[in-house]
């Protein structure tokens, strides 16, 4: 198995898909390489692309807050990555071929880090790792086996920021508690 540093080095040089041509930085992932819990988002936005770090914008602030309030952990104690490691232009959705090109990086990150629990944030991460076309509203609220660990799918923080009458945020809080229970 490669080390996380070797994987990151490969990702930093990656030109497997067209997203590589528009990036400022590859956003490989951050956090504890031995984390018990890993969060997987969709792809870098503008601020993440500029900084080379996932979830540093408004969605990231909400993610940090929910981790602290519902799980009692900080960003340094978890690992955070995305489905695609380079920013889709204009924050459009990542395309199927881009997701397919980047997928081995995420799968190897999961294998190397070996978290007990993976929280998938939103449709892209949830559908990819659960290998389903079912949407996040149907998927969330349950715990799914994934190899010898579990996946807890939840909404993307940007969905909570867009509103939804508080129901999305309440659902996320419940899912984060669900993830914490799996850590015990």
Contact status: 153 vs ligand URA (CB under 6 A): no
Q: Which stretch binds ligand URA (CB under 6 A): 29-37, 43-51, 99-107, 138-146?
A: 43-51
Contact status: 42 vs ligand URA (CB under 6 A): yes
Contact status: 49 vs ligand URA (CB under 6 A): no
Contact status: 82 vs ligand URA (CB under 6 A): yes
Contact status: 154 vs ligand URA (CB under 6 A): no
Shortest CB 177 distance to ligand URA, Å:
21
Closest by Cα among 104, 107, 85 to 94: 85
Three-state secondary structure of the chain: CCCHHHHHHHHHCCCCCCHHHHCCCCCCCEECCCCCEEEEECCCCHHHHHHCCCCCCHHHHHHHHHHHHHHCCCHHHCEEEECCCCCCHHHCCCCHHHHHHHHHHHHHHHHHHCCCEEEEECHHHHHHHHCCCCCHHHHCCCCEEECCEEEEEECCHHHHHCCCCCHHHHHHHHHHHHHHHHHC
Contact status: 120 vs ligand URA (CB under 6 A): no
The smaller minimum CB distance to ligand URA, of residues 89 and 181, is found at 89
Contact status: 79 vs ligand URA (CB under 6 A): no
Strand partners, 146: 149
Q: Which stretch binds ligand URA (CB under 6 A): 42-50, 107-115, 132-140, 164-172?
A: 42-50
Contact status: 54 vs ligand URA (CB under 6 A): yes
Residue whose C-beta lies closest to ligand URA: 41
Interface residues toward ligand URA, by CB under 6 A: 41-45, 48, 54-55, 59, 82
């Amino acid at each position: 198995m490669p080390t996380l540093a070797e994987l990151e080095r490969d990702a930093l040089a990656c030109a497997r898909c067209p997203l590589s041509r528009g990036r400022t930085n590859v956003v490989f992932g951050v956090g504890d390489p031995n984390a018990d819990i890993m969060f997987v988002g969709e792809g870098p936005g503008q601020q993440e692309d500029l900084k080379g770090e996932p979830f540093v914008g408004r969605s990231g602030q909400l993610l940090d807050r929910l981790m602290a309030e519902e799980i009692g952990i900080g960003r340094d104690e978890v690992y955070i990555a995305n489905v695609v490691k380079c920013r889709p232009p204009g924050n459009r959705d990542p395309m199927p071929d881009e997701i397919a090109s980047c997928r081995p990086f995420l799968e190897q990150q999961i294998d190397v880090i070996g978290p007990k629990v993976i929280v998938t944030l939103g449709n892209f991460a949830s559908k990819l790792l659960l290998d389903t076309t079912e949407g996040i509203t149907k998927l969330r609220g349950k715990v799914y086996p994934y190899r010898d660990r579990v996946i807890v799918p939840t909404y993307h923080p940007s969905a909570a920021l867009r509103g939804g009458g508080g129901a999305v945020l309440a659902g996320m809080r419940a899912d984060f508690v669900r993830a914490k229970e799996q850590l015990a």
